[in-house]
Amino acid sequence: MIKIYNTLTRKKEVFQPLEQGRVKMYVCGPTVYNYIHVGNGRSVVSFDTIRRYLEYRGYEVDYVMNFTDVDDKIIRTAKELKTSAPEIADRFIEAFNKDTAALNVQPATLNPRVMDHIEDIIAFIQVLVDKGYAYMANNDVYYRTRKFKHYGQLSDQSIDELEVGASQRTGEEQKIKEDPLDFALWKAAKENEIAWDSPWGLGRPGWHIECSVMATKHLGETIDIHGGGQDLTFPHHENEIAQSEAKTGKTFANYWMHNGYVTIGEEEEKMSKSLGNFVTVHEMVQKIDPQVLRFFLATTQYRRPIKYSETTLKEAETNLQKLRTALENAQFRLQNSKEGFPEGTDHAILAEFEQRFVQEMDDDFNAANGITVVYELAKWLNTYSESASIDIELLTAAVEKFKEWLAIFGIYFVGEELLDEEIEQLIEERIQARQARDFARSDEIRDVLKEKGIILEDTAQGTRWRRDA
């Protein structure tokens, strides 16, 4: 029984999807004006891991993640680079897809783009205008925030608290709004900016309306799960609720999920482009094994902050190598074993591991506790692989379960690349030296191979090798 911490109610709730065996899930995607940083990558990986676990538990997941391809930042970047907003968006959508593929993120069921939904957005806003939830001011269209009685519930703020903050804002926009809390649904066109015709004149959508439109169009008026980074809780998700529920009269999302920040530096500041303290996924996957970064991001409970540092990345690399070694040990034993099925083998042990793994992951997708069970299975694999006799069926099942769990965290271990001819010859020469009891030559070859990054392990089943991490 899966339980989800619902930001809206601030408690864990038993997950009950709208449709049995099916999950409608919307996650706010990137604004595509630059490469995503590791903090953005955390959100993508967190919800990919959640999606994978839901699928592991038997659900079919309709997973929609948008691309915001119309935005002030995109327009500004286009001007700086002397190109168009669509060209900037296309460039960084392509980069996003490549970088997330390197992190083994599954493609979404659908990646809707704002530019493809302008007519839908205009129609949505028109309904809000007709219902009195929106009004026109100087060719902009604004949402009447106070008219929505539940405004502030998601972020746990009262309308009075929000008014204090809003009243301190300055600028031309504040002068034309009915209320400081009101937010833009449609923005009048500015000179040399991309724009579309509408009942209110040339302009473009506001940020918040875009997700409301794309989520409801592709998943329905009520969805199961809406996810995104913690920083989107207010105002973005708060505004999404106000817009969507005002239009439909129905609950917009039954479960709101928000991942924690990635922090950086001694002060553990939130990683963000605005603070200038970010590291992009694009550069990281070229410097380190992308699997290490994926493992680092996927194995902390999604609501908890993650401290990004060389130390924490190194810890992730070390732990990942331990898991890889356990799998290789087990696979090597299977390849070199002809044992049958010893009497008294306890096949219930796998069921016990399974029960514990599901118990931990069902508790709000607690990846930190889930990966602990994976570590314990790795330890068991190491021990059992060294047994004098093994049950091939049991070890095979354990290996498959181990790989299945690793896949939930987006980890896939592929076989080592073929050794070049020189190394193959050296390994064979060492085997012969050991057989001839020429241990001096055997040790010499071991040292030569170690310098080449090849680690040898002598087991009861023969000599095996691995590349040094």
Output the known binding site.
28, 211, 236, 240, 273
Secondary structure letter of residue 299 according to DSSP: S
**Tokens standing for 281?**
């996924």
Secondary structure letter of residue 418 according to DSSP: P
Please check whether residue 204 is in contact with residue 187, taking contact to mean a CB–CB distance below 8 angstroms: yes
262 residue type, one letter:
V
User: How many C-beta atoms lie closer than 10 Å to residue 432's C-beta?
Assistant: 13
Please check whether residue 114 is in contact with residue 70, taking contact to mean a CB–CB distance below 8 angstroms: yes
Task: Report CA-CA distances (Å) from 445 to 422, 430, 441, 457.
Answer: 12, 6, 6, 13
Which of these, 124, 129, 139, lies nearest to 203 by C-alpha position? 139
First to last CA, the chain: 39
Please check whether residue 201 is in contact with residue 195, taking contact to mean a CB–CB distance below 8 angstroms: no
**Tokens standing for 467?**
């590349």
Binding site for ATP, by residue number, is 273
Binding site for Zn(2+), by residue number, is 28, 211, 236, 240
Which of these, 89, 90, 97, 187, lies nearest to 137 by C-alpha position? 187
Please check whether residue 254 is in contact with residue 224, taking contact to mean a CB–CB distance below 8 angstroms: yes
**Tokens standing for 361?**
């992951």
CA distance 48 to 193: 35
Q: Phi/psi at 345 (nearest 5 deg)? A: -65, 130
**Tokens standing for 298?**
């996927």
CA distance 185 to 204: 9
